[in-house]
Amino acid sequence: MIKILSDHPNRSFRLDYFCSRFNAAKSSISEDLAIAKKILSENDLGMMITVPGVGGGVKYVPYITDAQVLEVQKELCRHLAGPERIMGGGFLYTSDIMFSPGVAEKLAAIFARKFADAGADYVVTLETKGIPLAFTTARLLDIPVIVVRRETKISEGPTISINYFSGSSGKMQKMSMAKKAARRGSNALIIDDFMRAGGSLKGITELLDEFDIKVCGIGVAIAAGDIPETKVGEYTSVVRLMGVDESSGTIDVVPNIQIF
């Protein structure tokens, strides 16, 4: 039962499902679930929650402790600290980190805890490096992903496009989203890999406004810490990139101590 529930986080299973699956009485299933709940709790492996009501049941909710969050933050800082990552203009090479399934799972666990009660109907990200993190976060929250495109795709049908100013490139760029991608009046959680001044995230917010979609949270893996003011309001970053010194080959990156 733990395997089934943890493979489908935040998805409710009725007790009848397990009774049928294991040919067992409800009383036996309830006893086993109580044992499973205790095991998960005692080993900081997540939470098992009973969902009340006619359509209720039981579901597994991923949970990461404060100590585990700090360890993930320190690990990400270690990954980013290598001088070989420095590229021209003070940029860092992060593709290997952001496309690592192991790293994405750990970062997603942080965002799943942070935004568990945000009421998001979708996770939204801008292609491309934020996609693995967005998909992993969406899986833990059991909601769909919307990928905002930089170029329109004919296979997605009619789209809505906007122009936005990118702080990283210093120029106007375009992003688009398929009209059929989301329900109007829903809520979206924006997840991305990096934020410098927030131009891209502001662009996503403005694009979602065209769909009457409310942004209920913003999470980024890395945020520049030397930007006095961003173009977006409240957001959550895992670590903060305080500075990159190309001459000395040093990278100053620290955990975000205000993550929760």
Mean pLDDT value across the chain? 93
Band of residue 190 on the pLDDT scale cut at 50, 70, 90: very high
195 - beta bridge partners? Answer: 223
Better-scored residue on pLDDT, 56 or 147 = 147
Q: What's residue 167's pLDDT?
A: 64
| Distance set, CA 172 to CA 68, 151, 175, 240 (Å) | 39, 14, 10, 25
Mean pLDDT confidence for 150-166:
88
What is the DSSP secondary structure assignment for residue 48, as one 8-state letter?
E
Better-scored residue on pLDDT, 55 or 130 = 130
Q: Which of 81-85, 111-115, 148-152, 162-166 has the highest mean pLDDT?
A: 111-115
**Which residues contact residue 95 at a Cβ distance below 8 angstroms, ignoring those fewer than 6 apart?**
129
Q: What's residue 119's pLDDT?
A: 97
Mean pLDDT confidence for 83-93:
88
Q: pTM of the entire structure?
A: 0.92
**Nearest 5°: phi and psi at 77?**
-60, -40
User: What is the spatial distance between Cα 243 and Cα 220, in angstroms, rounded to a whole number?
Assistant: 17
Band of residue 130 on the pLDDT scale cut at 50, 70, 90: very high
Q: What's residue 19's pLDDT?
A: 94
The rounded percent of the chain whose pLDDT value lies above 70 is 97
Band of residue 168 on the pLDDT scale cut at 50, 70, 90: low
Q: What's residue 233's pLDDT?
A: 78
Q: What's residue 166's pLDDT?
A: 74
Q: Does the pLDDT of residue 258 top 70, yes or no? A: yes
Q: 130, 234, 121: which is closest to 188 by C-alpha?
A: 121
User: What is the spatial distance between Cα 67 and Cα 222, in angstroms, rounded to a whole number?
Assistant: 19
Band of residue 183 on the pLDDT scale cut at 50, 70, 90: very high
What is the DSSP secondary structure assignment for residue 228, as one 8-state letter?
S
CA 201 to chain centre: 14
Q: What's residue 88's pLDDT?
A: 81
Band of residue 210 on the pLDDT scale cut at 50, 70, 90: very high
Domains and CATH numbers, the chain: 2-61 (1.10.10.10), 66-255 (3.40.50.2020)
Q: 45, 44, 73, 64: which is closest to 258 by C-alpha?
A: 73
Band of residue 55 on the pLDDT scale cut at 50, 70, 90: low
Mean pLDDT confidence for 25-40:
95
Written as six digits, the tokens of 2 are 């733990």
* Block residue for tokens 């945020």: 223
Written as six digits, the tokens of 153 are 């795709």
Band of residue 253 on the pLDDT scale cut at 50, 70, 90: very high
The per-residue DSSP string of 97-134 comes to HHT-HHHHHHHHHHHHHHTTTS--SEEEEETTTTHHHH
Better-scored residue on pLDDT, 155 or 231 = 155
Mean pLDDT confidence for 181-205:
94
Q: Does the pLDDT of residue 169 top 70, yes or no? A: no
